[in-house]
Structure 1
Amino acid sequence: MDKLSITECLRLKGITIIGHDFSYDKNISKRDITSQIELIVEIQKSLIGCNFPGLSRIRSIIGREVEEYKVQVKKLQRHYEYIVSKPCTSEIENLILSDGKMMLKKAKRAVNYIYEHDYYGVIKRSMNREEICIGKVDKNNLRKVEGNIEIGTIKGMAYNLVEEDLYYYIKRLQRKEFQIDEKELIEMFVRASHLSFNSLDYLKGLCSYPKDFMKSWERYRDRKKDGINEIHHSLSVCNLECKEDKKEKTVEEILSELKRSLKYESKSFII
Structure 2
Amino acid sequence: MVSVAAHADPWWLESSQPPHPPTQQQTATEDAAKDTGKEDGETIWQRTISDPLALYTFVLTLFTGVLGASTILLWRENKRSVDAIIAADRPRLRLSKLQFGRAGNADPLDNAKYATVTIGFTNYGDKSAVVTEVCFDHLFAAMVPKRPVYRNKKTYLSLPVTIAPDSEHVFPPEIIYDDGNRQLEEVQHSLDGPESLSNLRFWVFGYIVYIDHLGKEHRTGYLGDWNFDGGGYGRYPDEAVLRGETFRVFSGDKRYAYNT
Tell me the TM-score range normalised by the shorter chain.
Answer: under 0.3
The alignment's TM-score, normalised by the length of structure 2, stands at 0.19
The alignment's TM-score, normalised by the length of structure 1, stands at 0.19
More helix as a share of residues = 1
Q: Which structure: larger Rg?
A: 2
